[in-house]
């Protein structure tokens, strides 16, 4: 696990300045604290920071092959590298190291850009190819978007890196927030898609490559996607367990201490249990708990660790949110409003004291439909099928005028349900994955800024994915959209930044693309039934995990925001709201939401946390008050 950066100059005869590459690499030192190195040649330069995982002595990058005509840097892990290496060696390839990532430049040399279709893993890469009369740069990212890659096309040339702050360090990219990113952040709680938070900066989408030459525009190409239809057949428990064990085994290869995150949930227990079945020594499991019982699963994790026979490290934490303001805005170099960033960072920091690599259960909820919102979505689809078009219109109209107040009893809070059943299924599901309505977000902005965003609606990108599957059911369309939006841009970005912020590699076997493409398209009845999600996975695990884990209530990895704003974060919040740029927000709108929250008329905890993190991100990265396109 590492970080890399590079420069592709507009003038192919010029040589990048190594001091600029060094500045870019310096911004990535937490991703790669063990080593740093460079490759500089005509037209292009690469910088690499290494966290040594496999072949500690010999796996230095950048790799060069073909007499130096091809240079490459790779961030991540390749899980089928042994098979690929054996194939290449049989064809006469000679390797210089035992690094899993060295297969990348050799595969490229033999197969060209299509090589990426043969690779299983989590990765981002950059390959400079100076063979022939026209040099090439190829950038690529793994199928699910586990590893990040950003780029910016500037007058001086194209710069690329594992994180935005490395691009900022080049001096090629302005420190300006993209105006559409502000609306995206307020509505979604994160910035996603092809466009990064910084104006002129872009994010390479998952499962894509970007090819650059000096004689043609950049060429973006998708090389993989999830199936666009639901499978007819279900999966037998034996198949699910066998595939689980195969993918966990792939993810356990390392030359450094390896362990796992363990909570009270199904997915982390499934992964740790599978590791224990395939390990000759006790698995290292790391868990954190919290003082609030509603957020705490530590007791279940302890019982699970004892049953599995794991070597368990556990801490019950009372986090200091003020300390988070010093670290998280630097680690998350785009604004990220999910409060679970803090506990994710804390459990990563604790795990790093014991291991260098940790396996996680992330992805099980997306693959097997484990979130509660999937259960609700299935119920709404069933109700929708029973309602005639005139009835749907009536329900939608009734839902739009239904009173909304957190003070109402739960049985009277039916407005959203009525609106969802009577409206567009895509927008109905969108409401379950967003932080606030677009209209509410625009009401916080100055009139001129809101008017300039009249043609931008974050929902449209989400809807384009939701509507792409041509067959199957509404549940799979929701999952498909999540796999292309919420998962890479919120969940995986959170895990990557929080873990790499403490130099910990986190692997996600439940997001191995071979696992996902087999089980995510299972029919709805195999995933949601009788008000429960993740049905097929739970039933497959009956022979391995206790009912306490499989049938317990799902708890979120969340934080007590309301208590913090009433205590240690109160002064910091007031300060942030007073200094957020007036070109971004209407001061009277911010004062209104703060007043409503303090008077307990409405709980704005999530929005206030997002605003607090936005302002501290702005300060930490020197972002100006102007907005860019």
Could you give the residue numbers annotated as active site?
A: 2
For the purposes of burial, counting CB atoms within 10 Å of the CB of 90, is it exposed (0-12), middle (13-18) or buried (19 or more)? exposed
Q: Do 368 and 374 meet the contact criterion of CB atoms below 8 Å apart? A: no
Q: Do 450 and 424 meet the contact criterion of CB atoms below 8 Å apart? A: no
What whole-number distance in Å separates Cα of residue 356 and Cα of residue 353?
8
What whole-number distance in Å separates Cα of residue 222 and Cα of residue 215?
21
What whole-number distance in Å separates Cα of residue 290 and Cα of residue 293?
7
What whole-number distance in Å separates Cα of residue 536 and Cα of residue 526?
5
Handedness of CA 534, 538, 541, 546 (dihedral sign): positive
**Alpha-carbon 489 to chain mean position:** 4
Comparing CA positions, the residue from 341, 409, 348, 248 lying closest to residue 559 is: 341
In sequence order, what DSSP letters do the residues of 75-106 get, joined into one string?
Answer: EEEETTHHHHHHHHHHTT---SS--GGGHHHH
**Preceding peptide of 62 cis, ω within 30°:** yes
- In Å, what is the CA distance from 325 to each residue of 318, 330, 339, 343, 572? 15, 9, 12, 13, 9
Neighbouring C-beta atoms of residue 398, cutoff 10 Å: 14
Q: Identify the helix (H) or strand (E) that includes residue 238.
A: helix 237-250
Contacts of 182 (CB under 8 A, 6+ apart): 445, 449, 584, 627
Neighbouring C-beta atoms of residue 246, cutoff 10 Å: 16
Cα 32–37–39 angle (5° rounding)? 135
| Phi, psi of 21, rounded to the nearest 5 degrees | -60, -40
For the purposes of burial, counting CB atoms within 10 Å of the CB of 32, is it exposed (0-12), middle (13-18) or buried (19 or more)? buried
What whole-number distance in Å separates Cα of residue 113 and Cα of residue 430?
35
| Phi, psi of 78, rounded to the nearest 5 degrees | -105, 120
The residues that bridge with 123 in the sheet, in sequence order, are: 76
Query: Which two three-digit tokens encode residue 499?
Result: 């873990």
Cα 277–279–281 angle (5° rounding)? 120
């Amino acid at each position: 696990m590492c970080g890399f950066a590079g420069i592709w100059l507009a003038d192919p005869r010029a040589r990048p300045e190594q001091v600029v590459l060094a500045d870019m690499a310096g911004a990535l030192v937490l991703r790669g604290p063990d080593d740093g190195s460079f490759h500089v040649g005509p037209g292009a330069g690469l910088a690499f920071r290494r966290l040594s995982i496999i072949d500690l002595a010999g796996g230095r990058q950048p790799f060069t092959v073909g007499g130096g005509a091809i240079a490459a840097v790779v961030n991540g892990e390749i899980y089928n590298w042994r098979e690929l290496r054996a194939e290449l060696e049989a064809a006469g390839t000679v390797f210089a190291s035992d690094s899993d990532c060295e297969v990348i430049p050799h595969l490229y040399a033999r197969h060209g850009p299509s090589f990426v279709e043969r690779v299983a893993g989590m990765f981002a890469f950059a390959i400079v190819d100076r063979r022939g009369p026209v040099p090439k740069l190829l950038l690529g990212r793994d199928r699910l978007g586990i590893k990040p890659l950003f780029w910016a096309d500037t007058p001086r040339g194209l710069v690329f890196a594992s994180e935005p702050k490395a691009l900022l360090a080049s001096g090629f990219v302005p420190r300006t927030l993209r105006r559409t990113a502000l609306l995206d952040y307020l509505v979604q709680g994160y910035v996603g898609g092809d466009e990064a938070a910084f104006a002129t900066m872009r994010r390479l989408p998952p499962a894509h490559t970007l090819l650059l030459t000096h004689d043609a525009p950049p060429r973006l190409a998708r090389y993989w996607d999830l199936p666009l239809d639901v499978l007819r057949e279900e999966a037998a428990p034996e198949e699910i367990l066998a595939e689980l064990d195969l993918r966990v085994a792939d993810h356990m290869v390392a030359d450094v201490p390896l362990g796992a995150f363990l909570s009270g949930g199904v997915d982390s227990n499934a992964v740790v249990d599978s590791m224990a079945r395939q390990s000759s020594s006790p698995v290292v499991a790391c868990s954190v708990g919290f003082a609030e019982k509603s957020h705490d699963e530590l007791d279940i994790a302890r019982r699970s660790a004892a049953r599995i026979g794991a070597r368990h490290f556990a801490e019950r934490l009372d986090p200091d949110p003020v300390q988070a303001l010093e670290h998280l805005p630097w680690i998350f170099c785009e604004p990220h409003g999910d409060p679970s960033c803090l506990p994710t960072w804390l459990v990563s920091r604790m795990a790093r004291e014991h291991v260098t690599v940790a396996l996680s259960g992330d992805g099980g909820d997306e693959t097997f439909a484990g979130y509660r919102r999937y259960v609700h979505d299935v119920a709404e689809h069933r109700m929708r099928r029973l309602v005639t078009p005139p009835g749907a219109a009536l329900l939608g109209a009734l839902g739009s005028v239904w009173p909304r107040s957190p003070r109402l009893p739960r049985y009277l809070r039916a407005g959203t349900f009525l609106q969802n059943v009577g409206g567009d299924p895509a927008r109905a599901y969108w409401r379950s994955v967003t932080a606030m309505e677009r209209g509410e977000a625009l009401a916080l902005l100055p009139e001129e800024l809101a008017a300039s965003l009249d043609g931008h609606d974050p929902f449209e990108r989400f809807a384009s994915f939701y509507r792409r599957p041509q067959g199957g059911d509404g549940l799979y369309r929701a999952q498909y959209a999540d796999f292309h939006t919420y998962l890479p841009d919120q969940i995986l970005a959170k895990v990557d930044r929080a873990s790499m912020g403490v130099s910990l590699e986190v692997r996600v076997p439940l997001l191995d693309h071979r696992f996902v493409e087999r089980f995510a398209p299972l029919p709805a009845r195999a995933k949601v039934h009788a008000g429960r999600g993740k049905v097929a996975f739970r039933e497959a695990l009956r022979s391995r995990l206790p009912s306490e884990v499989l049938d317990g209530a799902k708890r979120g990895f969340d934080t007590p925001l309301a208590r913090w704003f009433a205590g240690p974060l109160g002064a910091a919040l007031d300060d942030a709201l007073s200094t957020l740029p007036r070109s971004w927000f209407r001061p009277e709108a911010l004062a209104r939401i703060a007043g409503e929250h303090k008077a307990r008329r409405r709980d704005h905890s999530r929005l206030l946390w997002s605003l607090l993190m936005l302002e501290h991100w702005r300060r930490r990265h020197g972002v100006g008050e102007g907005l860019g396109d």
